Amino acid sequence: MIDVNLMGCFNLIKAALPLIKCDRDSRGPGSIAIMSSQAGQVGIYGYTAYSASKFGVRGLAEALQQEVIAGRYPCVPHIPSGKTPGLEQENKLRPELTKIIAGSWHDESEDVAKKAINGIKSGRFIIPCNFEGFLLSIAIWFVPTDIISHGI
């Protein structure tokens, strides 16, 4: 998971960034969308490796946001699980508690894609793609982690 989700993003950005910087005057500002997940906003039971890799993606985007020359805007869409054949396979393997926790995070993939694209176009850094993701994005900034984790 770390190799694909985190290092894959890192290596792709490292290879593409010099090309993105070339001829930027004629193209204008651009975005680098680094896809994360709602499981990258908070740790979720049953998603240990996945959550860690997606937390890393967000950290990569935050560091990139500070390091990249002006006119390049990293953004991080936090994608919920989409109703896909992959989710059907995943549901067969994941623990029952994980199914309960993540049960409401299954949105229509086309709706999620539209929200992600609109967020990228807007230039926002964090892009929640559904209501739960929006609430998580608020909670991680304003609520101590132990309250989120323990429901206190």
At 84-138, the pLDDT tens digits run: 676 777 778 888 888 777 765 566 778 888 888 888 888 788 888 888 888 888 8
Determine the pLDDT at residue 68.
74
Q: What is the pTM of this model?
A: 0.74
Q: Which two tokens stand for residue 19?
A: 């090309």
Report the pLDDT value the prediction gives residue 11, as an integer from 0 to 100. Answer: 95
Asked if 29 and 72 touch (Cβ cutoff 8 Å), the reply is yes
CATH architecture of residue range(s) 2-12+30-146: 3-Layer(aba) Sandwich (3.40)
The domain ranges of the chain are 2-12+30-146
Does residue 149 surpass a pLDDT of 60? Answer: no
Q: Give pLDDT tens digits for 11-68.
A: 998 888 877 777 666 666 667 888 888 888 888 888 889 889 999 998 998 888 888 7
pLDDT of residue 97: 84
Closest CA to 37 of 121, 117, 115, 105: 105
Query: Which active-site residues does the annotation give?
Result: 36, 50, 54
Contact 17, 64 (CB under 8 A): no
